[in-house]
Structure 1
Amino acid sequence: MVPVGGVEVMLAGTAASGLLLAGLALLLQRRTGVVWAWAFAGLLWSLVVIGLLTLLPAQADPGVVYADERLGVCSFDLGGPAPDGFWILSGGQRLLNVLVFVPSGALLVVVAARWRSGWVTVPLGLAALAAYSVGIEWTQLELARIDRACDVTDVVDNVTGAALGVAVGLVLVVVLRPWRARHPRGGR
Structure 2
Amino acid sequence: MFPVGGIEVMLVGAVLSGLVCLVLGGLLGPRVGWITAWSLAGLLWSLAVIACLTLIPAEANPGVVSAESRMDTCSWDIGGPAPDGFWIFSGGQRLLNTVAFVPSGALLVLLASRWRAAAVILVPIGLALLVAYSAAIERTQLELARIDRACDVTDVVDNVTGAVLGVLLGGVLALVLRPWRARIA
Assess same fold via TM > 0.5.
yes
The amino acid across from 1:105 in the alignment is G
Q: Which residue of 2 aligns with 1:157?
A: 158
Deviation (angstroms), 1:5: 1.0
Bigger fraction of residues in helix = 2
Amino acid at match of 1:70: R
| Residues 14 and 52 in structure 2, CA contact (< 8 A), matched pair in contact too | yes
Letter in 2 for 1:61: N
Which residues of 2 match residues 73-84 of structure 1 at below 5 A? 73-81=73-81
AA matched with 1:59: E
TM-score normalised to structure 1 length: 0.91
Q: Which runs of 4+ in 1 moved over 4 A?
A: none
1:150 is paired with a residue of what secondary structure? coil
Q: Is the 8 A contact 1:94 1:157 kept in 2?
A: yes
TM-score (norm 2): 0.92
- Alignment of 1:38 with 2:38, yes or no, is yes
Aligned residue in 2 for 1:87: none
SS in 2 for 1:100: helix
Q: 2:123 maps to what in 1? A: 122
Using the TM superposition, give the Cα deviation of residue 3 of structure 1 relative to its aligned residue in structure 2, in angstroms: 2.0
Whether contact under 8 Å (1:35, 1:182) holds in the other structure is: no
- CA distance in 1 between partners of 2:126 and 2:13 (Å): 24
Cα root mean square deviation, aligned? 1.7
1:26 aligns to 2:16 (yes or no): no
What CA deviation, in whole Å up to 9, does each residue of 1:58-108 have, x standing for no partner?
A: 001111001111011110001114699xxxxx9210000000000000000
Structure 1 Cα separation of the partners of residues 40 and 80 of structure 2 = 33
Give the Cα–Cα distance (whole angstroms) in 2 for the partners of residues 34 and 109 of structure 1: 15
For 2:87, the equivalent position in structure 1 comes to none
**Using the alignment, how far apart are the partners of 2:172 and 2:94 within structure 1?**
25
The Cα of 1:21 is off from its aligned counterpart by 0.6
Tell me the residue number matched to 2:67.
67
Tell me the amino acid that sits aligned with residue 161 of structure 1.
Answer: G
- Residue 147 of structure 1 corresponds to which residue in structure 2? 148
Between the two proteins, the alignment pairs up a number of residues equal to 179
CA distance in 2: counterparts of 1:2 and 1:57, whole angstroms = 8
Q: Is the 8 A contact 1:83 1:93 kept in 2?
A: no
Say whether the 8 Å CA contact 1:100–1:158 is kept in structure 2: yes
Structural mapping, 1:86-125, within 5 Å: 91-115=91-115, 116-125=117-126
Contact map agreement 2:113 2:119 (CA 8 A) in 1: yes
Determine if contact 1:34/1:182 at 8 Å carries over to the other structure. Answer: no
Of residues 27-36 and 75-84 in structure 1, the stretch that sits farther from structure 2 once superposed is 75-84
| Percent of residue pairs bearing the same amino acid type | 66
Q: Secondary structure at the match of 2:78?
A: coil
Kept in 2: contact 1:82–1:93 (CA 8 A): no
| Matched residue SS, 2:75 | coil
Structure 1 CA distance for aligned equivalents of residues 46 and 83 of structure 2: 24
1:126 Cα offset (Å): 0.5
Aligned equivalents of 2:143, 2:95: Cα separation in 1: 25
Compute the displacement of 1:2 (Å).
7.4
Matched letter for residue 152 of structure 1: V
